[in-house]
């Protein structure tokens, strides 16, 4: 029996594995990942990782920016722990070999980032995620105790009597179905941006860990908070990092006008804030785009309306030194050069603030089950995550979850209960049945597209109760239709159609929770904007949404108070004015 089984080989999963290997070398650790670890989405992070180091910056200021950026929905005890530990984690990465960009005098360089009043975002050019993940991956290789199951897809958590006992997984290469018994399981499966049609997220980000926990009886938290990033390339959804604006880029409308000066970084306002307006929080910038569109000041393209990101005034040298990947992406995917051309951009689904409900050590209410990284909701991101807080989050809470799971596994050395075998057999039967194929059902791709369109229509940047209620019905019906989806591939080897089917099921479960939570929250806060309830309502909704799966499979939503330590709710303020 494995002591600590980690589902996910991205930044959070690998950081957790190292924490177990370092704090409890006698324990066995396994990392199961549906892709080779270096292909996890962490690799594509560009802009950087926040952590207080600079002179004049303080931990309290990072806390405040995070809390006000999150529209007061963050748990402040978790934010305080996060902010205190983030710099230590970034220094630790340096010691493991992460090549942080430097100032001329040799100090670690930091750049400004959206919603952060100080420059505290560490970076490795604009390929931060690649270097961070590589550093973690090579560090895991030092430890013989870390076993890997690369390209294995976890389909079920084994839970009995309120305690986790392992997982069932399919080896994608051979089709072998195996039950892996474990004393503890840590979910680090990343986000679920793929439930929307237009996203920066890799194809693998289908919310599997959220659905696994939800089906096993755990709660998901704050699922209505979906982050749109204001600058995705039209058509592909490829991200143009916020670092481009941190380095001085402007957002302009079809008249060449820096339109953000007309907004209080959200709604139109008569009091312009000129300085650093491009570095407002992502929710506000994405909302401003919608207003520009309504005013007829965006540019129509075959791929929807766009505005422009203007980097021309930065000059070739700065672009090549600070944001070379932006230039590479624009050349390869948009056939333009940002040194001389405007970049068309539009808001794109980027990040999930919500996830598996955990405490600050990653523990869920199911004994032995932990979650960390984007799949979890601790919550430090509240109603809107600030850019560059997620990479340190996966490090801080990956380490915490790993350490806590190791301690639990040491103390609870139970024998394998009969449920491991019976639930494993049950899951095997279901998977084998799915693999027998079904020539009659609807196509997986058609069902997926309908789900994505439904979510974009009802749970996008602006929402209404009526649209959400209709979407909830559509998704419930789609969930049933997906059970009978058409599967033509009956082979065992690399049966990607079966994987697509399993992912469609997880996405639909997650999508239903997003819509149910959004419908229940009758206020506007951060990334959740209801035109029928246009203001923040602290009296009723200064609370997390907690959603459980009811016995009939439908989501059931309740509320949980937010932890406030030192920062009572106030107005959000932005920029460095
Ligand atoms: C394009 C882009 C740029 C970004 N830039 C930044 C940035 O500059 N700064 C910042 O702070 N944040 C950034 N983010 C956000 C940040 O990168 C992510 O939130 C973070 O890396 C998530 O890490 P993770 O370890 O939680 O998950 P991931 O890195 O997504 O890893 C998930 C892992 O789970 C595995 N998995 C999933 N499902 C299963 C299953 N069923 N069975 C087995 N394994 C499974 C996958 O194989 C993978 O290994 C960016 C995000 C994107 C999309």
Tell me what pLDDT residue 265 has: 61
Average pLDDT, the chain: 94
Q: How far is the CA of 557 from the centre of ligand 1 (A)?
A: 26
pLDDT of 426 reads: 98
Atom of ligand 1 nearest to the CA of 15: 25
Backbone angles phi, psi at 142, to 5 degrees: -70, -25
DSSP 377-425: E-SSSTTSPPTTSHHHHHHHHHHHHHHHHHHHHHH--PPPPHHHHHHHH
Q: Compute, in angstroms, the gap from residue 71 CA to the centroid of ligand 1.
A: 24
Confidence bin at 264 (pLDDT 50/70/90): confident
Measured distance CA(5)–CA(183) in Å, rounded:
8
Banded model confidence at residue 227, pLDDT cuts 50, 70, 90 = very high
For ligand 1, atom 24, which residue shows the shortest CA distance? 190
Backbone angle region of 382, left / alpha / beta, with phi > 0 → left and psi within -120 to 50 → alpha? left
- For residue 37, the ligand 1 atom closest to its alpha carbon is 49
Please say whether the beta carbons of 398 and 372 come within 8 A: yes
Ligand 1 centre distance from Cα of residue 377 (Å): 14
**Exposed (0-12), middle (13-18) or buried (19+): which is 150, by Cβ within 10 Å?**
middle
Encode pLDDT of 286-334 as tens digits. Answer: 999 999 999 999 999 999 999 999 999 999 999 999 999 999 999 999 9
**pLDDT of res. 576:** 39
C-alpha of residue 128 to centroid of ligand 1, in Å: 13
Q: What is the pLDDT of residue 574?
A: 59
Q: Give residues (CB < 6 A) around ligand 1.
A: 7-13, 32-35, 37, 40-42, 44-49, 128-129, 153-154, 188-191, 200-201, 204-205, 208-209, 239, 351, 373-375, 388-391, 394
| Burial category of 413 from C-beta neighbours within 10 Å (exposed 0-12, middle 13-18, buried 19 and up) | exposed
- pLDDT(245) > 80: yes
Coil, strand or helix: which one is 49? strand
Q: What does the pLDDT look like over 16-28, one tens digit per residue?
A: 999 999 999 999 9
Residue 187 pLDDT greater than 80, yes or no: yes
Residue-wise pLDDT for 382-428, tens only, equals 999 999 999 999 999 999 999 999 999 999 998 899 999 999 999 99
Short-list 193, 195, 185, 175, CA closest to 216: 185
| pLDDT reading at 268 higher than 60 | no
Measured from the Cα of 205, ligand 1's closest atom is: 30
Find the mean pLDDT for residues 166-192: 98
Pairing of strands 177-187, 369-371: parallel
Residue in this structure with the two tokens 């979910």, named with its chain if needed: 187
Please give the average per-residue pLDDT across 51-65, as a whole number: 93
Tokens 């995070």, residue?
66
Q: What is the pLDDT of residue 274?
A: 44
| Cβ count near 459 (within 10 Å) | 26
297-306 long-range contacts (CB < 8 A, ≥24 apart) are 297/253, 297/254, 297/255, 297/257, 297/259, 298/253, 298/254, 298/346, 299/253, 299/254, 299/344, 301/234, 301/344, 303/234, 303/235, 304/234, 304/346, 305/346, 306/234, 306/344, 306/345, 306/346
Is residue 374 within 8 A of residue 346, CB to CB? The reply is no
The matching CATH number, chosen from 3.30.450.20, 3.40.50.740, 3.40.50.10860, 3.90.700.10, for 231-348 is: 3.90.700.10
Q: Which residues contact 142 (CB under 8 A, 6 or more apart)?
A: none
Report the C-alpha gap between 421 and 562 in whole angstroms. 40
pLDDT in the model for residue 296:
96
Per-residue pLDDT tens over the stretch 29-46: 999 999 999 999 999 999
pLDDT at 279: 87
- Between strands 29-33 and 110-111, the pairing is unpaired
What is the set of active-site residues? 229, 245
Higher pLDDT, residue 281 or 511:
511
Nearest CA to ligand 1 atom 12: 390
Q: What is the pLDDT of residues 478-488, one digit of tens each?
A: 999 999 999 99
Read out DSSP for 240-299?
--THHHHTT-EEE-TTS--GGGGBTSSSB-SS---TTGGGS-HHHHHHHHHHHHHTT-SE
H and E: helices and strands count for the chain: 15, 22
pLDDT recorded at residue 577: 36
pLDDT at 575: 46
Q: Is pLDDT above 90 for 372? A: yes
Place of tokens 């402040």: 76
Neighbours of 135 (CB within 10 A): 20
How confident is the model over 343-359, as a mean pLDDT? Answer: 97
Residue having the nearest C-alpha atom to atom 51 of ligand 1: 45
Residue of 41, 120, 205 with the most ligand 1 atoms within 8 Å of its CB, for mutation:
41
Q: What's the 166 CA to ligand 1 centre distance in angstroms?
A: 22
Mean of pLDDT values over 378-383: 96
* Ligand 1 midpoint to CA 40 (Å): 6
Please, are residues 307 and 342 in contact by the beta-carbon 8 Å criterion?
A: no
Instruction: Report domain extents, the chain.
Output: 231-348
Quote the pLDDT of residue 23.
96
Q: Pick from 50, 199, 205, 391 the residue to mutate for probing ligand 1's pocket: most ligand atoms within 8 Å of its CB.
A: 391
In total, the chain counts a number of residues equal to 577
Q: Can you tell me the distance from the alpha carbon of 250 to that of 252, in angstroms, rounded to the nearest whole number?
A: 6
């Amino acid at each position: 029996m494995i002591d600590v089984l980690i589902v996910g080989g991205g930044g959070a999963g690998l950081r957790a594995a190292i924490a177990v290997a370092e704090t409890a070398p006698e324990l066995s650790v396994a990392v199961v990942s549906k892709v080779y670890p270096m292909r996890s989405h962490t690799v594509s992070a560009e802009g950087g990782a926040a952590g207080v180091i600079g002179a004049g910056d303080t931990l309290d200021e990072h806390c405040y920016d995070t809390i006000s950026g999150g529209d007061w929905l963050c748990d402040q005890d978790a934010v305080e722990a996060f902010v205190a530990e983030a710099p230590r984690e970034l220094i630790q990465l340096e010691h493991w070999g992460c090549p942080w960009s430097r100032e001329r005098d040799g100090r670690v360089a930091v750049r400004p980032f959206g919603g952060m009043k100080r420059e505290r975002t560490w970076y490795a050019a604009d390929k931060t995620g690649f270097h961070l993940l590589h550093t973690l991956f090579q560090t895991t290789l030092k430890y013989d105790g870390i076993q890997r199951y690369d390209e294995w897809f976890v389909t079920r958590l084994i839970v009995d009597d309120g305690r986790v006992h392992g997982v069932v997984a399919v080896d994608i290469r051979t089709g072998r179905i195996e039950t892996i018994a474990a004393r503890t399981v840590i979910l680090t499966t990343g986000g679920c941006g793929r439930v929307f049609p237009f996203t920066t997220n890799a194809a693998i980000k289908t919310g599997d860990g959220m659905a696994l926990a939800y089906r096993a009886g755990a709660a998901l938290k704050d699922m209505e908070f979906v982050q749109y990033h204001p600058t995705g390339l039209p058509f592909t959804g490829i991200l143009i990092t916020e670092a481009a604006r941190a380095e001085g880029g402007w957002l302009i409308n079809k008249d060449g006008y820096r339109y953000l000066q007309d907004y209080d970084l959200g709604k139109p306002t008569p009091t312009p804030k000129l300085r650093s307006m491009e570095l407002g929080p992502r929710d506000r910038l994405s909302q401003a785009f919608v207003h520009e569109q309504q005013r007829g000041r965006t540019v129509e393209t075959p791929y929807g309306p766009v505005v422009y990101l203007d980097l021309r005034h930065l000059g070739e040298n700065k672009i090549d030194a600070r944001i070379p990947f932006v230039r590479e992406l624009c050349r390869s995917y948009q056939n333009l050069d940002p040194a001389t051309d405007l970049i068309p951009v539009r808001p794109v689904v980027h990040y999930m603030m919500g996830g598996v409900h955990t405490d600050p050590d990653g523990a869920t209410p199911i004994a032995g089950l932990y979650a960390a990284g984007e799949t979890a909701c601790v919550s430090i991101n509240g109603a809107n995550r600030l850019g560059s807080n997620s990479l340190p989050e996966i490090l801080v809470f990956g380490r915490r979850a790993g350490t806590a799971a190791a301690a639990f596994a040491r103390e609870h050395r139970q024998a394998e209960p009969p449920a491991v075998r019976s639930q494993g057999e049950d899951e095997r039967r279901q998977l084998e049945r799915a693999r027998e194929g079904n020539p009659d059902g609807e196509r997986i791709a058609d069902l997926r597209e309908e789900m994505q369109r439904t979510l974009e229509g009802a749970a996008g940047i602006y929402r209404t109760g009526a649209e959400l209620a209709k979407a909830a019905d559509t998704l419930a019906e789609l969930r049933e239709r997906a059970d009978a989806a058409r599967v033509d591939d009956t082979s065992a080897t690399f049966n990607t159609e079966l994987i697509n089917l399993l992912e469609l099921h997880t996405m639909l479960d997650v999508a239903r929770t997003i819509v149910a939570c959004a419908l229940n929250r009758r206020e506007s806060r951060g990334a959740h904007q209801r035109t029928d309830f246009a203001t923040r309502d602290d009296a009723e909704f200064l609370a997390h949404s907690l959603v459980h799966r009811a016995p009939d499979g439908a989501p059931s939503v309740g509320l949980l108070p937010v932890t406030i330590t030192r920062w009572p709710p106030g107005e959000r303020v932005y920029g460095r004015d």
